[in-house]
Amino acid sequence: MAGHDPKPTALTIGGFLAKKPYKPPSWASHLNPIPSHTFSLGHLPTPIHKWNLPNLPEDTEVWIKRDDLSGMQLSGNKVRKLEFLMADAVADGADCIITVGGIQSNHCRATAVAARYLNLDCYLILRTSKVLVDRDPGLIGNLLVERLAGAHVELVSKEEYARIGSVTLADLLKKRLLSEGRKPYVIPVGGSNSLGTWGYIEAIREIEQQIQTGSGEIRFDDIVVACGSGGTIAGLSLGSTFSNLKAKVYCIVAVVVHSHETRFATY
Ligand SMILES: *Cc1c(COP(=O)(O)O)cnc(C)c1O
């Protein structure tokens, strides 16, 4: 690409987009391997506040950690995982990122934006219905952001996705890009591998620090999150168990019964 500089040239004031050495919390220092660096991509710490829901049982308080406020285009939980994954990609000398997800995947949107910030190309394999595969997917929702960030979008039908699998699909694209002389780095669905999980181990340290610096005695008995690819709950569970937080961690799983119907179940 003309003028393309594969090395990230992010210039930053105040730490945003800076590469930082990573030191895990003491209670996680026995985990292996420990990531060496992160990129500062999220606007962290995100606030925690009391959520005054109606009709709560007596003696029950609900607090909410506002990870929706973790940034603009990068917002949500995926940015915490990407702080670790993108640092690894750059350390690997990657010049492009490959990742996979549903047609409106938040993870793919966040990855496309993070890649652009770090001056890396981004290739997205997006799962959609058979009839839409050969059409322009349009500029709706996250697709608009991905297009604005200059991501390359490849569509795959749900049937093909189920048959081939996300790992092989990413691997095939990786091989193609390697043959073109590129240096791709693959991030799995949802950014949920062992490295991405560190984002939510680190979030537990953030919560602990917020509790310590807060006024009054606050203790959380339970943490509840929505679950997709599982990295968020994996990191929270590890962190909560190893740290002094010791809250029980629950997730809500959306189970797709038919392609047009989603049932929610708690585990
Ligand atoms: C990805 C996502 C989740 C699930 O997180 P996982 O780590 O993939 O389990 C929940 N809520 C929203 C809004 C998400 O984008």
Q: Which of 21, 40, 141, 137 shows the shortest CA–CA distance to 82?
A: 40
Say what the pLDDT of residue 263 is.
43
Residue of 229, 255, 267 to mutate, ligand 1, most atoms within 8 A of C-beta: 229
160-218 confidence digits (pLDDT tens): 999 999 999 999 999 999 999 999 999 999 999 999 999 999 999 999 999 999 877 88
**Residue type (1 letter), 96:** C
As a whole number of angstroms, the distance between CA 206 and CA 45 comes to: 7
Q: How far is the C-alpha of 187 from the C-alpha of 170, rounded, in Å?
A: 9
194 catalytic, yes or no? no
Ligand 1 neighbourhood includes 193 CB (under 6 angstroms)? no
Asked whether the beta carbons of 83 and 38 are under 8 A apart, the reply is yes
Ligand 1 atom nearest residue 232's Cα = 7
Q: Which stretches of the chain score pLDDT less than 70?
A: 1-12, 256-267
pLDDT value of position 255 = 72
Q: 227 in ligand 1 pocket by Cβ < 6 Å?
A: yes
Instruction: Name the pTM for this structure.
Output: 0.91
Instruction: Write down the pLDDT at residue 2.
Output: 46
From the CA atom positions of the chain, what is the Rg in Å?
Answer: 19
Measured between alpha carbons, how far is 201 from 221 in angstroms, rounded to an integer?
Answer: 17
